[in-house]
Amino acid sequence: MPIDSNGRGMLCEACQKIFRGRQILSAGSTTSDNQTSQWNSQAHQPSLQSFLKASDLGCPVCYEFRSSIGEARLEIFAGLSTSNEFSYWVLERREGGGYDLNLALDDDYDELIEYRLSLDLEVLPPNIYDGPTENNSLFAGGSTDSDAAWAQAFRWYQACLSMHTACNSSSHYLPSRLLSLSEDDPGVIRLVATKVERKGIYCYATLSHCWGDANILKLQSSTLDAFQQGISLSLLPKTFVEAIAVSRRFSIPYLWIDSLCIIQDSVADWRAEAASMEDVYSNSRLNIMATASRNSHEGLFRSRDPKHLALCIVESQWTDAANDRFSIVQDEMWRTEMTNAPLNQRGWVLQERILPPRALHYGQHQLLWECRELDACEKYPTGLPKSLRNIFTGVKITDPEAYQRYHYGWYSRDGGSVGKGERLKKLIDYAYMLWDRWILVYSSMQFTRYSDRLIAFSGLANRMRAILQDEYHAGLWQTRFADELLWFTYGDGSIEDEFIPYRPPDGGAPSWSWASVTGKVATSSTVDFTGKAYHLDLKAVNVTPVSGREGDDNNDDTGAILDGQVRIRGFLKRGTLLKNVYHMPEEDYEAPATVYSVEVDGIEPVIAFVDEPMVNWDTMKIVVLPVLTNLKDSDDLDSKEERLHALLLRRQAGLPKGFYARVGYVSGTEKEFSSSQLRDFFHDHQTATSTQGKEGGGTGFRNALRKLVWAKEPRGSGASWPKLGDEKLYLSGAHGEFIIV
């Protein structure tokens, strides 16, 4: 089963049977004679040995499934003796054309790892598939350092420089320090201060890498002079040496590496350079990314099997269905090879990935390219098929209009039919949607220090602020501040949960900010909400940046902060947060699930999202803060059902009455709240804020907030806090003022 001359892999006998003879579809699919099929799980590979053989010989379907299983799990499976098949397949008709193909392991194998392992593939006809039908994989070479790999990288780079308007600018910015890669002595590089040696420096590359636990050479106060004299390549880790080779091959004579260009034992230098990261990466000629490496000693280049790059195209030979020439694609390919790669799990890297105009990724199996006009890889060198586009692709697109066109094609429908004001509003809405997407991707990343979460996002915050022309407060935008309070976390802490939310005590953000928790965070995406009514007044926001304290000249309000408070006038309702652990049968084993709910006045609970799992108790006394009500999104345009949104708060220990911390979020339709007094409470207090406009804080709201936003609240022990409302009154349904910290 070799790769043919057009770079197409050939299916093994087990996979070819899926597309021969009588077409067998899964339950719910419509057959060619308009009948609804029954569940049809069909035998695929008879044994682990036959599966491995097919993969080794180059069957692209089995190869993809093997990659998704992982070699470590295959070693576990090797000792299992079973009379059943190794794997099964299910084919299902896709809405809009083509098919979905699912491959799954036999239950005996799944039980060894305690969860179901499967692979989903898309089987697309020519009228839907828009990707290449041939590539250069036959000649790709056995390494990402091969001549073919270099040639492809140069093609991407030259095309981007010469043809991509969105990727090129006339900026002449230079970082404070750069590494000179002069080949007068190829074995030595030199650190230069650009203010002193600016002449002749016209471009530079940057390197994104994982430090890991590896001990690497770093710039320190004591080595600054020596680095300016010269650094022998023999002292540098493998990734640095290979990045220097890449930069030289691309004729880029200067390189910026964080550990060698920032004085690592100087807090002042680190803080000043961290504040300039947006400029450093935004003006890089090329960002070289050690995407597959866990530390700086693993290097850029990888040995590889070219079969991994083969395209998968099959001509069906069914006897009872229409036949075609289908392309089989793995819609999670980009996520697997790019998003889930070691480097891209690191929180600092998202802005390093988004801000540069172009990036060359050194992956585990292939080179991958990202710029503002193209996502590509060696398997799909002319660009990713549209079927592979998802939240993890197109990350370099920071223009809101281009983002919308790339993912949805919405804006192009408007043409010139909208006025200037309506167009501006749409662009702002698109910008907020782009921001929500960044939060979703960024929040699931990893940090060595929790307090870095806002600092490592500051470059993106500054980029978005230039678009929105809005005030920024610890991850939230002022104009739609109430809406942005409605974020929530994924994960319940169960054993198979990939993202367990956690609020560290030194998290570096107030509880009302999404940056205060680790784990995956999603926003309520209120841009498309209609019929919004608010239930609170935002009186003041106060955030104190670390760089703004006395004696610090660098006033970066997008970086690390000391504290933050929101002063609110509204209504609160007492309630109880409940934790329930259920054991739900899942075939032959039980999977625990934790469900949280809010109970008000003993009435039937409503499902809630908690900011972090409750570990030491099963109940918690809380208060409910109504935020807004909107008309529920519905296919029925006449539907008037409302969705209610509220925060869950808890009294903040160590502070006076009237100070609360956020612990969760609750949302539901009128029907879901119908048995709860929360529904009546929302309706009774729906006119709390006549100043807040339909779109998340109208002119009155915005002006009121701007007048008060920098009104300093006292901090520290013995501080004289302002008189807040009588807690007994606003907990009983009257207006009151309180603070969330």
Pairwise CA distance, residues 661 & 511, whole Å: 6
Query: How do residues 383-434 score in pLDDT, each as one tens digit?
Result: 999 888 887 888 898 888 887 788 776 433 344 445 666 777 788 888 998 9
Bridging pattern class, strands 561-570 and 736-740: antiparallel
Averaged pLDDT for residues 444-457: 88
Beta strands 375-377; 367-371: pairing state = antiparallel
Backbone angles phi and psi of 304, in degrees to 5: -155, 160
Average pLDDT of the segment spanning 517-544: 86
Region for 80 from its dihedrals, namely left if φ exceeds 0, alpha if ψ lies in -120 to 50, beta otherwise: beta
Does 191 score more than 70 pLDDT? yes
CB 321 within 8 A of CB 23: yes
Looking at the chain, the whole-number percentage of residues with pLDDT higher than 90 is 48
| pLDDT of 633 over the 70 cut | no
Q: Taking Cα atoms as reference points, which of 78, 52, 53, 82 lies closest to residue 66?
A: 52
Instruction: Please check whether residue 191 is in contact with residue 258, taking contact to mean a CB–CB distance below 8 angstroms.
Output: no
Confidence bin at 663 (pLDDT 50/70/90): very high
Instruction: Provide the pLDDT for residue 72.
Output: 80
- Report the C-alpha gap between 462 and 476 in whole angstroms: 12
Phi, psi of 651 (to 5 degrees): -55, 135
Q: What confidence tier does 245 reach under pLDDT thresholds 50, 70, 90?
A: very high
**Rounded-to-integer distance, Cα 254 and Cα 260, Å:** 13
Q: Is 349 exposed, middle or buried (0-12, 13-18, 19+ CB in 10 A)?
A: buried
Mean pLDDT across the stretch 294-314? 92
Q: Which two tokens stand for residue 388?
A: 């592979």
Asked whether the predicted pLDDT for residue 706 surpasses 80, the reply is no
* pLDDT (average), residues 575-586: 73
Question: Which two three-digit tokens encode residue 16?
Answer: 């070819």
pLDDT at 106: 81
Mean predicted confidence (pLDDT) in 121-146: 90
DSSP-based three-state secondary structure for 44? coil
- 456 pLDDT above the threshold of 70: yes
316-373: pLDDT as tens digits: 999 999 999 999 999 888 988 998 899 999 999 999 999 999 999 999 999 999 999 9
54-68, 236-250, 468-482, 723-737: the lowest-pLDDT one: 723-737
308, 144 contact by CB (below 8 A): no
Helix (H) or strand (E) holding 564, with range, is: strand 561-570
Nearest to 193 by CA among 144, 132, 256, 148: 256
Q: How confident is the model at residue 600 (pLDDT cuts 50, 70, 90)?
A: confident
Q: What local confidence, expressed as pLDDT, does residue 357 receive?
A: 96
Q: Of 577, 570, 631, give the one whose Cα is nearest residue 606.
A: 577
pLDDT of the residue at 133 = 85
Average pLDDT across the chain, whole number: 83
pLDDT of res. 704: 35
Q: What is the mean pLDDT of residues 530-540?
A: 87
Please give the average per-residue pLDDT across 257-278, as a whole number. Answer: 91
Alpha-carbon distance of 52 to 89, in angstroms, equals 17
- Give residue 499's identity as a one-letter amino acid code: F
pLDDT at residue 635 greater than cutoff 60: no
Instruction: Name the one residue in this structure whose structure tokens are 């890449």.
Output: 246
Local confidence band at 689 (pLDDT 50, 70, 90 cut-offs): very low
The answer to whether residue 617 scores a pLDDT higher than 50 is yes
With tokens 């990939």, the residue in question is 498
DSSP alpha helix (H) spans, 366-457: 400-407, 420-443
Query: Does the pLDDT value for residue 5 go beyond 50?
Result: yes
CB 293 within 8 A of CB 239: yes
In this prediction, residue 693 carries a pLDDT of 36
Residue 404's pLDDT is 78
Strands 358-362 and 286-289: parallel
C-alpha to C-alpha distance for 361 and 367, rounded to whole angstroms: 6
Model confidence at 734: pLDDT above 80: no
Furthest C-alpha separation in the chain: 84
Q: Is the pLDDT of residue 549 over 70?
A: no
pLDDT, one tens digit per residue, over 166-189 is 999 888 899 999 999 988 889 999
Residue 586 confidence (pLDDT) above 60: no
Region 143-161: mean pLDDT is 97
Residues 737, 739, 741: CA angle, nearest 5 degrees? 170
**Distance separating alpha carbons of residues 212 and 342, to the nearest angstrom:** 10
Distance, in Å, from the CA atom of 703 to the CA atom of 709, rounded to the nearest integer, reads 10
| Contact of 263 with 191, CB cutoff 8 Å | no
Which of 106-110, 112-116, 581-585: highest mean pLDDT? 106-110
Q: Quick check: 62 pLDDT over 50?
A: yes
Q: What is the mean pLDDT of residues 589-602?
A: 71
Cα gap 172→202, rounded to integer Å: 7
Task: Answer yes or no: are the C-beta atoms of 263 and 221 closer than 8 Å.
Answer: yes
Tell me what pLDDT residue 424 has: 75
Q: In Å, how far are 483, 631, 694 from 641, measured between CA atoms?
A: 19, 6, 17
pLDDT greater at residue 213 or residue 199: 199
> Distance between CA 496 and CA 519 in Å, rounded?
14
Nearest of 190, 167, 183, 230 to residue 369 by alpha carbon: 167
> Tell me, what's the pLDDT at 354?
95
Task: Give residue 593's pLDDT.
Answer: 67
Q: Does pLDDT of 721 surpass 50?
A: no
Q: What is the pLDDT of residue 666?
A: 92
pTM for this one? Answer: 0.85
